[in-house]
Amino acid sequence: MYVNVIPLIRSIRGKDSFTYSLEERIKGGVVRGQLVQIPWRSKFVTGVVHEIDVVKPTFATKPIKKLLDVSLDSMYMDFIEWIAEYYCIALSHAAKLSIPEAPKKKYALNKDETNMRDVRTLTVSRNRISVVQKTFQSLRESHESQTVLYQKYPEVVALISGYAKNGSVAIIVPEESYIDELRGHLHSYAPHIITSHLNKTEMYSLWKSAVQSEATAYIGTKRLAFFPLHAFDTICIIDPEDQSHKQWDGNPRYHTQTIAEAWRELSASHVVYFSQAPRLDQFASVEMNMNLLSEDLLPDMRIIDLSDNHFYSKDIPLTLQIVERCREASVVFLWLNKKSGYDYLVCDDCGTLSEDASITVCSSCGGKNMQSRGYGTTRLAAGLAELFPDRPIIELTKDSEIIAIEYDKNPIIIGTRYADSRVQWQRVDYQVIVATDYLLSQPEFRSAELALQQFIRIRNRCVRLDVQTYSPEHPVIKALGQLFAKSWYENELQLRERFKLPPAHFRAEIRHRDTAEQRVITELDQLPDNPDWLVDREI
């Protein structure tokens, strides 16, 4: 008997499955989806049976070493085939992405050292309990995918706890910082945790439990999206607009929302997105549930027009009224979109710009009046350290060391989006979006969408918020002041339609794996036949 097997390897398109023979001792019970161990070159790897009763080939074949105790159902196999087709990769590559390698030796299981007493308690205020209950009831009555728009995270945790109480649930989060809080609130359901830190034994064991429907709750980052999500009653995705839900450094460059929607199409699974500012394609295709939104939860917010207000000083790009609020507030957070100090020099005599901050003489006119321009977190931190010598000035970026913030010492925290998971936001009295215009002016068709998502995330965690901008009439700034900017989304969709951009029109970026040449295609038929071209459909 001969079968075609998909090995769990990273092969290229066109080399998907390989023929193996079955010895008499293991012929019985082999079905499509059966996991097997096969010889591959000088080693043994895991494979999945793709076709059975294959005609005897004209070439010599190797025998399957043994059958493993796991079989994938037809829906899981259909999902693997969908991945390969949608992202233009080999079936073997899609199978490796979806199925953990069976360990050849036993690794020690990591002991769960999470101390639930250290997990911050998330509570829903009494006047909001009935709202949360009403929202959960409406979600339970719907059989369609829904996006629940929210402002306060504890209410999301309460809804997810309801799903765990009423059935099995898979929860996909953007970052690991979400996991401990959710695990603490769902500890009675013994949730399984999926992260990249698991060793081979742990990953395979947890995946196998999901395949065999042995668990009621799974919590994980984007790796969880490739587990058999059709085995769960509900799939929950928290903050799908967060860029961490996108795979950036691998092939394929997938997004968990796309994967979840594929599961929904294949299995009619119930998918719920908990979003603060939905992605545009999400708004266009998924029903919006706005029960949790309330004007009462909006912060005290001011939009400060920088055209009419000067900065406090050259080194402190904050207006005088913001500096005064910083003096009054106990704990302050200042948001900037970039690190660094001075970005460039400008010649006061002729206006020539130079990105080389080390020069002292203008290359155009020879003038010596070179002035520093531009600012980032580093420069702002240095300026504030001089202005507030008695207060801790803390810079939080992706390059910062992890430190314990002493909130009782009234710190001023300056950070980028990487500070989102490192600050106890309930301890912050006042926040400022220092710069908006740089994000809004990026030469990228999604710049306004990405900026709005980031600004709303900041707004929803504030008590008081100031926003500095040279463009107070910009649609994104206007949308920030609205409970939900439905008109902004509708107008943005019209613009995308007009300029033939996603989600209104197909667009993908392709890159050659050897030469790194990049192209943009607007039809999948434009994809070159050469399998060395990699496809990014999650632009």
DSSP 17-61: -EEEE--GGG-TT--TTEEEEEEETTEEEEEEEEE-SPPPPSS--
Task: Return the domain boundaries, the chain.
Answer: 2-98, 130-289, 299-340+376-482, 342-374
pLDDT cut 70: percent of the chain above it? 93
Per-residue confidence (pLDDT) for residue 135, from 0 to 100: 95
Overall average pLDDT of the 388-412 stretch: 92
Band of the pLDDT at 115, cuts 50, 70, 90? Answer: very low
Fold type of domain 2-98: GIY-YIG endonuclease (3.40.1440)
Each residue's pLDDT tens digit, 487-496: 999 999 999 9
**What are the pLDDT digits (tens) for 2-41?**
899 999 988 877 778 899 998 877 766 788 999 999 999 8
Task: Tell which CATH classification among 2.40.30.10, 3.90.105.10, 3.50.40.10, 3.40.50.300 matches the domain 299-340+376-482.
Answer: 3.40.50.300
Report which of 46, 23, 24 is spatially closest to residue 34, judged by C-alpha positions: 46
Instruction: Over range 440-447, report the average pLDDT.
Output: 88
**Contact status, residue 306 vs residue 469, Cβ threshold 8 Å:** yes
> Is pLDDT above 80 for 71?
yes
Cα–Cα distance measured from residue 110 to residue 315, given in angstroms and rounded to the nearest whole number: 48
Residue 221 has pLDDT above 80, yes or no: yes
Beta partners for 373? 344
Residue 355's pLDDT is 59
* More confident position, 432 or 184: 432
How far, in Å, CA of 119 to CA of 182, rounded? 9
Condensed to tens digits (0 to 9), the pLDDT of residues 272-289 reads: 999 999 999 999 999 999
Q: Which of the four pLDDT bands, split at 50, 70 and 90, describes residue 119?
A: low
| pLDDT for position 213 | 83
Q: Does domain 130-289 have CATH number 3.40.190.10?
A: no
Q: How far apart are CA 479 and CA 301, in angstroms?
A: 13
Model pTM score? 0.90
Say which residue the tokens 């003038």 belong to.
Answer: 367
Please report, as a single letter, which amino acid is at residue 235. Answer: I
pLDDT at 113: 47
Question: Distance from CA of residue 390 to its chain's centroid?
Answer: 38
Dihedral sign (CA 157, 163, 168, 171): negative
CA atoms within 13 A on the CB side of 87: 29
Same fold, 130-289 and 299-340+376-482: yes
- Per-residue pLDDT for 343 more than 80? no
Cα dist. 148→237, 243, 265, 290, 488 in Å? Answer: 10, 18, 20, 6, 18
**DSSP H/E element including 511:** strand 508-512
Do 12 and 29 form a contact (C-beta atoms < 8 A)? no
Residue 196: what pLDDT? 85
Quote the pLDDT of residue 232.
Answer: 93
What is the DSSP secondary structure assignment for residue 90, as one 8-state letter?
-
Which tokens is 181 given? 């809080």
Q: Is 522 left (phi over 0), alpha (psi -120 to 50) or beta?
A: alpha
Higher pLDDT, 424 or 144: 424
Q: pLDDT tens for residues 139-195?
A: 988 878 899 999 999 999 999 999 999 999 999 999 998 998 898 889 888 899 999
Quick one: CA dihedral 56, 57, 63, 66, positive or negative? negative
Alpha-carbon span 72 to 212, nearest angstrom: 9
Question: Which residues are CB-neighbours of 272 under 8 A, at least 6 positions away?
Answer: 139, 145, 146, 147, 148, 159, 163, 234, 235, 236, 237
* Distance, CA of 357 to CA of 345 (rounded, Å): 6
Please give the average per-residue pLDDT across 460-479, as a whole number. Answer: 95
Q: Is the pLDDT reported for residue 300 higher than 90? A: yes
